[in-house]
Structures are given as C-alpha cells and as structure tokens.
Amino acid sequence: MACMSHEVPSLQKLFSTIGSKWSLLILIFLAQNPPSIRFTALQREISGVSQKMLSHTLKSLERDGLVRREFHAEIPPRVEYSITDLGMSLLPVAQGFADWALEHGELIENKRAEFDLLVA
C-alpha cells in the first residue's frame, strides 16, 4: 500500500471521523438494525458510550454521509438513524477491523500488560 505525502491531509480528515473510538462500532450496529434504529435503542446496544459521545459521533458520521438521521415530528418527537449506501461500503473494512480486534485482542492486552510492567 502506497501513500503519497500530498494525500496525507485528506486521509487525516477522513480518519479523524472513521478512526474515532465509536464510529466503526456505530456503523456495524446500524447495519445490524435495518431499516433504522432510534437513538436510545442504539445507546442501549453500544455499552459504554455516553449520550453526548453518541450524539457527537452520529453527527460526524451524518456530516460525512455515512449515516442518515430522520426526524419524525410527532409527540413525543422521534429520531431514527440508518446507515447510508456510502456507510455500507465501509462495512467490509469495519467488519475486518472488528474481526482482527477480536482475534488479536487478548494478545494485545497481554503485550500492554508486559509493557506496563517494564515502564513502571
């Protein structure tokens, strides 16, 4: 894989959203809950994400065209989120990363523990 120096700014912009702590996980959960899912249901599915962080990440993903937000003007108001076609095109990468993380997570945790013992 080659990366040219003139491409770095564009990659940094994209990676800042896609590479955030919650983005890929949110896209995976949206894809698993077609056609859409409500904010509160999504927050229940993704343990550990705060309401503020979920809202911020969804806005970033919406801004990049990866997520669609649909507001229903009813009482009480209802907001649903879904993954776009562009977001779906990122899923093989997201799923590949998730598979890699699950396969190697224990090894990485062990390496972190070893490192922490050495530098402590």
Does residue 3 carry a pLDDT above 80? no
Does residue 1 carry a pLDDT above 70? no
Express each pLDDT in 15-59 by its tens digit: 888 888 899 999 999 999 999 999 999 999 999 999 999 999 999
Q: Which CATH architecture has domain 22-119?
A: Orthogonal Bundle (1.10)
- pLDDT range class, residue 94, cuts 50, 70, 90: confident
Express each pLDDT in 51-70 by its tens digit: 999 999 999 999 999 999 99
Tell me how far apart the alpha carbons of residues 37 and 104 are, in angstroms, rounded to a whole number.
30
The C-alpha torsion from 18 through 87 and 36 to 101, rounded to 10°, is -50
What are the sequence ranges of the domains in the chain?
22-119
Tokens of 91: 């899923």
